[in-house]
Amino acid sequence: MLVNELERHLREKILPFWEKLADDEYGGFYGWVDKDLLVDPKAHKGCILNSRILWTFATAARILGDGHYLPFAQRAYDFLQRFWDEPNGGVYWSVTHDGRPLDTTKHTYCQAFAIYGLAAYARATGLQEPLEKAMQLFDVIEEKCTDAGGYGEAFMADFSPQSNEKLSENGVMASRTMNTLIHVLEAYAELYRAGGSERVRRAGAACLETLLHKVYHPGKQRLEVFFDAQYGSLLNMQSFGHDIEASWLMWDAVQCLLPPAEQQPFRQMCIALAESVHRLAMTDHGLRNEMVDGVMDEVRVWWVQAEALLGFHNAFELTGDERFRQDALIQWNVIKRMIVDPRPGGEWYWSVHEDGTPTGRPIVEEWKCPYHNSRMCLRMIEQLK
């Protein structure tokens, strides 16, 4: 059965790889492994990577019912305190290998992932402290990272705005991004499940409304990616990975945050996103990456492949359409054949060319983490076992 394969893969391939990256000298986990599987023990450590490791081990302990993973979650939780800016509030983008502030940018995206990890740790342990810290960061986002139109992106340490190079690309400088918004939503849903307040539910519901009415393009059946401050789209781009990820992530948040009477428009949007990705990007050797101004990027990216399995399975659950179930099964076979690193001690390649040749990108850095692939496994286990 697929779910049994996924559990074995998680327990025997993904999680052991990250366990071995524990930094016993300085705390936390090493921040860089190159394409040849060589660890750089002096590499900086990113808040996004650390928060995603925290989420992964905490959620593995909870869903698998296995306390073996809790010490690794605690390690990530303890090191997360190194990113904390007590005078100003919030968490920094990165610290040095030994835990000193390095990039002191306060990005909304970073605050959201710290919430996500903390809330997962609270759910796994029942501890009050991580929930309280998550609520502190919720207040930071809602009080310091917002303006009249929604969420800003990048800030200095004192929360004065700065330009958003970190989540902009393709020659545009975005005032708002779809990527930040969907992960604020994801964090708020996790926080609400962990015991967050009604304020958290309302804020998450507002994220959903923004996604439906300002980010989703119903004519093109896609989420626009980069925006000016008034939600004007800055680039003719479809990110297939984000669309298929959002198709299940938003539906998960809808079920958590909204009453049944308000869910139908979001259900229709999530199905439409999956249909669009199926039509434009699905192949028998995995999901295409993105399309900009009509030009297709054929690179197969690790997280895109993982999210495709989840998104297509969710679309099958919503519709009963057998095409989507077949897409999910194709994705798992593609992942095993092309994306999983077969070398002893390897995990997943960052990306491969259309013919399956690795692109040579690092195996671990501040964006390459266990979150997408472990979440693929854990969510399927939670749903199907």
**Percentage of residues of the chain with pLDDT beyond 70:** 100
What's the pLDDT at 385? 78
Give the torsion through C-alpha atoms of 321, 326, 328, 334, to 10 deg.
-160
pLDDT tier, 196 (very low <50, low <70, confident <90, very high otherwise): confident
Has residue 78 got a pLDDT over 90? yes
Task: Please answer whether residues 297 and 359 qualify as being in contact, where contact means their C-beta atoms are separated by less than 8 angstroms.
Answer: no
What's the pLDDT at 352? 98
What's the pLDDT at 56? 98
Distance CA 193, CA 191 (A): 5
**CATH 1.50.10.10 is right for the domain spanning 2-384:** yes
What is the mean predicted confidence (pLDDT) over 269-282?
A: 98
- The pLDDT mean for the chain works out to 97
Q: Which residue has the tokens 């692109």?
A: 359
Has residue 331 got a pLDDT over 90? yes
pLDDT tier, 150 (very low <50, low <70, confident <90, very high otherwise): very high
End-to-end CA distance of the chain: 10
**Domain spans in the chain, listed from the N-terminal domain onward:** 2-384
pLDDT tier, 40 (very low <50, low <70, confident <90, very high otherwise): very high
**C-alpha triplet 9, 13, 19: angle, nearest 5°:** 130
What's the pLDDT at 96? 98
pLDDT tier, 180 (very low <50, low <70, confident <90, very high otherwise): very high
Kindly report the pTM of this predicted structure. 0.98
